[in-house]
Amino acid sequence: MKNPIRVTVWNEYRHEKKNPKIAAIYPEGMHGAIAKYLRTQPGLEVRTATLDEPEHGLTDEVLKNTDVLTWWGHVAHKDVQDAIVEKIHARVMDGMGLIVLHSGHMCKIFRKLMGTGCMLKWREIGEKERLWVVKPGHPIVEGIGEYIEIEHTEMYGEHFDIPAPDDLIFISWFQGGEVFRSGCCFHRGCGKIFYFRPGHETYPIYHHPGVLRVLANAVRWAAPVESAKPVRGNFKPLEKVTTHG
């Protein structure tokens, strides 16, 4: 039997503490809602971590024992310590999966991994979104229909300043006239990264069955693969080389 996938659900966890409306939607924080769902899934071992814990809850011990890290942040990206960002980056290079959610597109670790600005167009009037599957047969859309509909949400529109994803899974349609690449897979180092757009703090999006299902699928897809570590540095030839004559 396979070992469980060890998931750490990270949340900035500021909105929920300050805004009663948001707290009403997510009484245990967005991380609480996500973790609660993931715990119902077989083969996952789930913990949470938040910004205001020591080391943001991401100690060396936690990171070392995390197979997949999910990340939600919005108003406090700058409060995340650079040293922790470096450690997360090293773990992704080493194979840890990373799921970046919604406003996490501007978090330090995602921008560092992408190498671009990661900005986009946005609007908050609670319009409708429909996420169309453009890569049927990909493990991230297991159990998903031809689209996921979200009745009221914040809009994110193109141009989204990311490298072309290695796999584009979802494209969003918005009522106000925009589109967005809303489910994007990237490989960096030995790690797999999935950016998934849904999830604004003022809408109950992490209670939506389709959104949650995608999260669980993405965790499984992003889990590390055991293989030899990449070899780099100065090495002797494997074959006999005669360079002079």
Report 100-129 residues binding a copy of itself (CB under 8 A).
112-117, 119-123, 125-128
* Burial grade of 206 (CB within 10 A; 0-12, 13-18, 19 or more): buried
Contact yes or no for 174/114 (Cβ under 8 A): no
Residues 165-184 that bind a copy of itself (CB under 8 A): 166-168, 171-179, 181
Residues 140-159 that bind a copy of itself (CB under 8 A): 141-146, 152, 155, 157-159
Closest distance to a copy of itself from the beta carbon of 216 (Å):
13
Residues 13-32 that bind a copy of itself (CB under 8 A): none
Nearer to a copy of itself, 47 or 152 (CB): 152
**Coil, helix or strand for 83?**
helix
Using alpha carbons, list the distances in angstroms from residue 138 to 78, 134, 141, 142, 210: 34, 9, 6, 7, 15
Return the closest-CA partner of residue 46 out of 70, 15, 29, 30.
Answer: 70
**Cα–Cα distance for residue pair 43/5, rounded to 1 Å:** 6
Q: Quick one: which of 61, 78, 83, 235 contacts a copy of itself (CB under 8 A)?
A: 235
Q: Quick one: which of 18, 54, 82, 237 contacts a copy of itself (CB under 8 A)?
A: 237
Residues 211-230 that bind a copy of itself (CB under 8 A): 224-230
> Under rule CB under 8 A, how many of the chain's residues touch a copy of itself?
80
Closest distance to a copy of itself from the beta carbon of 181 (Å):
7
Residues 183-212 that bind a copy of itself (CB under 8 A): 186-192
- Helix (H) or strand (E) segment spanning residue 152: strand 147-157
Told to check if 78 binds a copy of itself by CB under 8 A, we report no
Tally the C-alpha atoms within 13 A of residue 207's C-alpha that lie toward its C-beta.
Answer: 11
**Cα–Cα distance for residue pair 29/192, rounded to 1 Å:** 26
The two structure tokens encoding residue 239: 């074959």
Closest distance to a copy of itself from the beta carbon of 104 (Å):
15
Closest distance to a copy of itself from the beta carbon of 109 (Å):
10
Tokens 């080391």 belong to which residue? 55
Closest distance to a copy of itself from the beta carbon of 157 (Å):
7
